[in-house]
A and B are shown apart, each in its own frame.
Chain A
Amino acid sequence: MTVPEPGRATAPVWVSPAQQDADRAAAIADALASVEGVAAVSPAGAVRFDVRVGESTVEVHVVTHYGPSISDITASVATAVGPLLDGRTLQVVVDDILLPGEHLTEQVEPADPTP
């Protein structure tokens, strides 16, 4: 790897749109981890947040804990991931709810966000 000379302009690193979306999804998943009241879920059952970045929307699938209002939780989600949306519309899909004493061990079927 060559080190550019000081003061000399370098070409910006090109990142494919797919890679940008993947990076954005990973950043959003990290932001979701800090939101209280939500748990991670993905169709494969792995413990990670299912984040789908589209051209105009960002769809996040979460599992919430029983008790708090879901609208309050989604408001917290919107606050946490808002700066990462880059103008896209956020769509939160609550796939399941964890009752007291219940743990996220089973595979959760993602809900269809379309009405």
Chain B
Amino acid sequence: MSTTTTQNTTKDDAQNLPVPAAESALLTTHGKTTIADTVVEKVAGLATREVSGVYALGTGVARAFGAVRERIPGAKTSLAQGVSVEVGERQAAVDLDIVVEYGVEIGEVTKAVRRNVISAIERMTALEVTEVNISVGDVHIEGDSDGDDNSGNASRVQ
């Protein structure tokens, strides 16, 4: 059985968050800089995986597809898995689906994820992050492998 916890926190509510980036960094008198969603998704995905206590990103279906994709020669894990963003000219909003390790305090993990994601995006892209919504879709228990097809057939006795 999976545990689901959803937290929606706007930047005004969050504590100890970085100062918003300068609003004019991407819109100058000399021109405009447009940042694709993919860029923000990758930065957010990488920043999320850096946080201790995060086991994986993505919903169950996304992780299943990701596991299949990883078995394809030459393919690699998508860092944007479990990350969806909305990017404007100056601001970005991020939605994350994560799986946490069993035993961690989920509130602390999500707070750390939120802080790390906001910091990384604002530092790299100069976009102001208005909100980071985190959905904890599952808890990973050591030894509980989703991809082990033989786990249910293993004999308990000799």
Say yes or no: is B37 at the interface (Cβ < 8 Å to chain A): yes
Say yes or no: is A26 at the interface (Cβ < 8 Å to chain B): no
Asked, given contacts A71-B25, A71-B126, whether A96 binds B30 with beta carbons under 8 Å apart, the answer is no
Instruction: Give the contact stretch, choosing among B8-16, B38-46, B138-146.
Output: B38-46
Which of B26, B33, B35 has the most chain A CB atoms inside 10 A of its CB? B33
Contact A99 B79 (CB under 8 A): yes
Asked, given contacts A70-B125, A71-B25, A71-B126, whether A97 binds B33 with beta carbons under 8 Å apart, the answer is no
Interface footprint category on B:
20 to 34
Q: Using an 8 Å CB-CB cutoff, how does the interface string of A63-106 with B read, 1 for contact, 0 for none? A: 01011111100100010001000000111111111010000000
Contact B34 A113 (CB under 8 A): yes
Query: A3: shortest Cβ distance to chain B, in Å?
Result: 44
Contact A70 B34 (CB under 8 A): no
Say yes or no: is A115 at the interface (Cβ < 8 Å to chain B): yes
Write out the residue numbers on chain A whose beta carbons fall within 8 Å of the beta carbon of B46. 66, 99
CA of A71 to CA of B36 in the docked complex: distance in angstroms? 14
Query: A79: shortest Cβ distance to chain B, in Å?
Result: 10
Which of B26, B32, B42, B126 has the most chain A CB atoms inside 10 A of its CB? B32
Contact B126 A69 (CB under 8 A): yes
Write out the residue numbers on chain B whose beta carbons fall within 8 Å of the beta carbon of A9. none
Asked, given contacts A96-B38, A99-B42, A99-B79, whether A74 binds B89 with beta carbons under 8 Å apart, the answer is no
Query: A114: shortest Cβ distance to chain B, in Å?
Result: 8
Number of interface residues of A (CB under 8 A): 26
CA of A78 to CA of B112 in the docked complex: distance in angstroms? 35
Please count the residue pairs between chain A and chain B whose beta carbons lie under 8 angstroms apart in the complex. 75
Give the contacting residue for A91; candidates B34, B39, B79; CB below 8 A.
Answer: B34
Kindly report which residue of chain B lies nearest to residue A90, judged by CB atoms: B31
CA of A74 to CA of B38 in the docked complex: distance in angstroms? 17
Write out the residue numbers on chain B whose beta carbons fall within 8 Å of the beta carbon of A97. 38-39, 42-43
Give the contacting residue for A94; candidates B31, B39, B79, B89; CB below 8 A.
Answer: B39
Say yes or no: is A15 at the interface (Cβ < 8 Å to chain B): no
Write out the residue numbers on chain A whose beta carbons fall within 8 Å of the beta carbon of B34. 91-94, 111-113
Kindly report which residue of chain B lies nearest to residue A89, judged by CB atoms: B31
Write out the residue numbers on chain A whose beta carbons fall within 8 Å of the beta carbon of B28. 78
Say yes or no: is B68 at the interface (Cβ < 8 Å to chain A): no
Q: Which residues of A contact B (CB under 8 A)?
A: 57, 64, 66-71, 74, 78, 82, 89-97, 99, 109, 111-113, 115
Q: Which 5 A-B pairs have the closest CB atoms?
A: A111-B36, A90-B31, A71-B25, A71-B126, A113-B34
9 example contacts (A-B, Cβ-Cβ < 8 A) are as follows A74-B26, A89-B30, A90-B31, A94-B34, A95-B36, A95-B38, A96-B39, A97-B39, A97-B43
